[in-house]
Amino acid sequence: MQGTAEILQSLLPLVVLFAIFYFLIIMPQQRQQKRHKEMIANLKKGDKIVMQGGFIVEVIKVEENHFTVKLNDETTAKLAKDFVAYKMQDEVK
């Protein structure tokens, strides 16, 4: 009986540490990934997005694995969905 109690006492700090780690790091990161995925899925023509490189571009066409984006009046490019950092919020008029 004493052996079981000693094992539980030695494992309890590890379980508590894992629970803290899960609630402070893993769970918020999973929520953020889910929100980012939803944001990418909801992008449409005309949305302004920021690429991971810092460029601000406008979505012209949404395709399965990438977006066709407009860098300026003359330049368009294809952007892989994995490289979208975030969507620009509508500016206050």
Q: Please, what are the averages of pLDDT over each run of 10 residues along the chain (93 residues)?
A: 79 92 94 94 94 94 94 93 88 42
36 C-beta neighbours (distance < 10 Å), count:
14
Residue 84: name the closest of 54, 60, 44 by CA: 54
Q: What is the pLDDT of residue 8?
A: 83
Structure tokens at 65: 């694995």
| Domain 44-93, CATH number (from 2.60.120, 3.40.50, 2.10.25, 2.30.30) | 2.30.30
Q: What is the pLDDT of residue 90?
A: 54
Alpha-carbon torsion (83, 41, 63, 44), positive or negative: negative
Predicted TM-score of the model (pTM): 0.72
